[in-house]
A and B are shown apart, each in its own frame.
Chain A
Amino acid sequence: MGTGSPLAGDSPVPEDPGALTEETRRALAEDPRLGLLDVSITLRGHRALLTGHVVTRDRQQLLAAVAAEHLPGYEIDNATTTLEDIGEPPGTGEELGAGR
């Protein structure tokens, strides 16, 4: 009966990018050196784009290293920001009426 069911093929099942992203996201949150819950990981082609705010340059570098461990074969594009990238707010503030 033909060549058999497509379910019976012996080629390896490609890794689901969604599952890979989620596994990496969990690793970044649960790694005691990082504790990062808000880094976004976008996989496009052979690149992995990381975005979010990670406070320090050390954490930024560690983030890239941990992500690379979990995303073998992907080129890491680390676009996260740190505290060094921000400053004091301009002006003297937003005026809000506070009448009860």
Chain B
Amino acid sequence: MTTIHVAAVGDIHFGPDAAGTLRPHLEHLGERADLLLLAGDLTRVGTADEARALADELSDVAIPIVAVLGNHDYHCNQGDKVQAILEGIGVTVLEGDSVVIPVNGSSVGVAGTKGFGGGFVGACGSEFGEPEMKAFMAHSRRMAERLEQSLAALDTDVKVALLHYAPCPDTLMGERLEIYPFLGCYLLGEAVDRGGAALTVHGHAHRGTERGLTAGGRHVRNVAQPVIGHAYQLYCLRPDGAAADPECAAPAAILAPA
């Protein structure tokens, strides 16, 4: 079965002042990957000008691009404009929904949501007390519920979850423990496990760690640009979980099927 090559990066924090810096790294991306995932915080503070600068940079990328927005993309209350500008050049922007991408006779389903904070098992907030606290946790729960529904509805060879916030604490290692509740929520991890995503990519945690697992043992990768240290990271997915493709020379460990 076809090996699916996924390129992913988050936390680009692009703006007009960065014009021309990303494009050279993406020129040959079509020869290396079948799709590009953008894991939120695509802009500095979420203005239309910043989104246009990024759209110009991405306009020549020859493979499908799927994105979610991050907290920075909402800062100036222009999230709708940021989304529309990216969609204008053909980027699929997900929020609680999914897209199916055919790849050489196989299919990849990508379900995406920004996600939200709340914390992890043993130290997670709850919908209790002040209206602000209840709203915070309800927002996180709704994001996770929509992710699970979107994943469950996919009938594809491979399912991938695209998030901005983290679904497990593993990929936050390096961040201060005190801020974990602002970096992700275990409800997202539960959604990934129930929905059957083989790979989840997220960003948001600039000082975190690339590799982790959900409670159910599914692969999670923190692709925040400061973490991966590259313009993007590459992952090879075998829909049948078969042995390594010799053309897919991993620079690091080969992992067992999820």
| Known A-B contacts A97-B258, A99-B239; A53 and B252 likewise in contact (beta carbons under 8 Å) | no
Give the number of chain A interface residues (Cβ < 8 Å). 30
The reply to whether A38 and B258 contact each other, CB–CB distance below 8 Å, is no
| Known A-B contacts A52-B226, A100-B196; A92 and B5 likewise in contact (beta carbons under 8 Å) | yes
A59 to B15: give the CA distance in the assembly, Å.
10
The reply to whether B232 and A96 contact each other, CB–CB distance below 8 Å, is no
The reply to whether A87 and B25 contact each other, CB–CB distance below 8 Å, is yes
A78 to B12: give the CA distance in the assembly, Å.
20
Q: A20-54 vs B: 1/0 string, CB under 8 Å? A: 00000000000010110110100000000000110
| Known A-B contacts A38-B206, A88-B230; A99 and B45 likewise in contact (beta carbons under 8 Å) | no
A35 to B42: give the CA distance in the assembly, Å.
13
Give the number of chain B interface residues (Cβ < 8 Å). 60
| Known A-B contacts A56-B18, A84-B21, A88-B230; A95 and B236 likewise in contact (beta carbons under 8 Å) | yes
CB contacts (< 8 Å) of A40 on chain B: these are 207
The reply to whether A89 and B258 contact each other, CB–CB distance below 8 Å, is no
The reply to whether B198 and A96 contact each other, CB–CB distance below 8 Å, is yes
The reply to whether B226 and A96 contact each other, CB–CB distance below 8 Å, is no
CB contacts (< 8 Å) of A89 on chain B: these are 228, 230-234, 251
Tell me the chain B residues, 146-184 only, with Cβ under 8 Å from chain A. Answer: 158-159
Taking the complex as formed, is A8 at the interface, i.e. its CB lies under 8 A from any CB of chain B? no
| Known A-B contacts A38-B207, A56-B17; A98 and B237 likewise in contact (beta carbons under 8 Å) | yes
The reply to whether A35 and B72 contact each other, CB–CB distance below 8 Å, is yes
A52 to B208: give the CA distance in the assembly, Å.
12
Taking the complex as formed, is B114 at the interface, i.e. its CB lies under 8 A from any CB of chain A? no
CB contacts (< 8 Å) of B235 on chain A: these are 93-96
Which of B233, B239, B253, B254 contacts A98 (CB under 8 A)? B239
The reply to whether A95 and B248 contact each other, CB–CB distance below 8 Å, is yes
Q: Which residue of B lies closest to A54 (CB)?
A: B13
In the assembled complex, 20 residue pairs joining A and B whose CB atoms fall closer than 8 Å, in A order, are A52-B207, A55-B21, A56-B21, A58-B17, A83-B22, A86-B229, A87-B230, A88-B28, A88-B232, A92-B32, A92-B234, A92-B236, A92-B248, A95-B245, A95-B248, A96-B219, A97-B198, A97-B242, A98-B258, A100-B196
Interface residues of B (CB under 8 A from A): 3-6, 11-15, 17-18, 21-22, 25, 28, 32-33, 44-45, 72, 75, 158-159, 196, 198-199, 206-207, 219, 225-226, 228-242, 244-245, 247-258
